[in-house]
Amino acid sequence: MEHDINLPTFRLSIYNHQTFDKMYFLFKSLHIIGFVSWFAGLFYLVRIFVYQVESWEKQEPEKSILSHQFDLMAYRVYNIICKPAMYITWIFGLGMLWINGLAWLKVNSWMHIKLVFLVGLSLYHFWCGALIPKLEQRKLGISSFQFRMLNEVPTLFLVAIVLLAVYKNSLDFLIALGGVVIFGITLFLVTKAYKRARDRGIVR
């Protein structure tokens, strides 16, 4: 015959392809669950930092009660939500890269940028973790307003990573990235306006 097919080899190839497809979608699902949980944890963690610092200005016994509670909450959010979620995100994200192969990674430059963003987000994650013991010891010179600004850092990472994953190698990503910069500036201005409104007693 002109087109001979080694049936056992053909079946094995199909089986391997289907198995890798199933693995890929499983890894992708767990990766998405991981990064959603990771971002949720980071948003919540730094918001706790805001309330921690503000609790230092309270009178006793409210000050001690609130400070102790926020210390405990920050520790638990970081160790029970943020850490596992970060590991899940990285493990299954790298698993997808392994399935796609090195050749795929070489030609998809958008993934290189995404990995840089993820490394930056991981550094932010570990920096937040390092702040927890300092906050417990009340040895930190960061104001609640500065923490409110820092709480928007994951938002910028989230917007950039999602846009990058959607546009991939398209030049439209540069336009989208410009939108991220504008979005960041807008967040800063809104946060400043909120602080002024709080200082004037307009909002709580």
Half-sphere exposure of 180 (CA within 13 A, CB side): 19
Angle between helices 172-199 and 153-167 (to 10 degrees): 160
Between 3-17, 115-129, 139-153, the lowest mean confidence (pLDDT) is in: 3-17
For 143, phi then psi, to 5°, come to -80, 165
Provide the residue ranges of all domains of the chain, joining segments of one domain with +: 7-199
Residue 105, pLDDT score: 87
Q: What is the pLDDT of residues 46-80, one digit of tens each?
A: 999 999 998 888 888 888 888 889 999 999 999 99
Cα-only R_g, the chain: 23
The answer to whether residues 70 and 62 touch, using CB atoms and an 8 Å cutoff, is no
Residue 132, pLDDT score: 93
The answer to whether residues 113 and 174 touch, using CB atoms and an 8 Å cutoff, is no
Residue 23, pLDDT score: 87
Measure the CA–CA gap between 160 and 119, rounded to whole angstroms.
13
Between 16-25, 55-64, 154-163, the lowest mean confidence (pLDDT) is in: 16-25
Q: What is the pLDDT of residues 34-48, one digit of tens each?
A: 999 999 999 999 999
Q: Residue 89's closest CA among 21, 127, 40?
A: 40
Over range 176-182, report the average pLDDT: 68
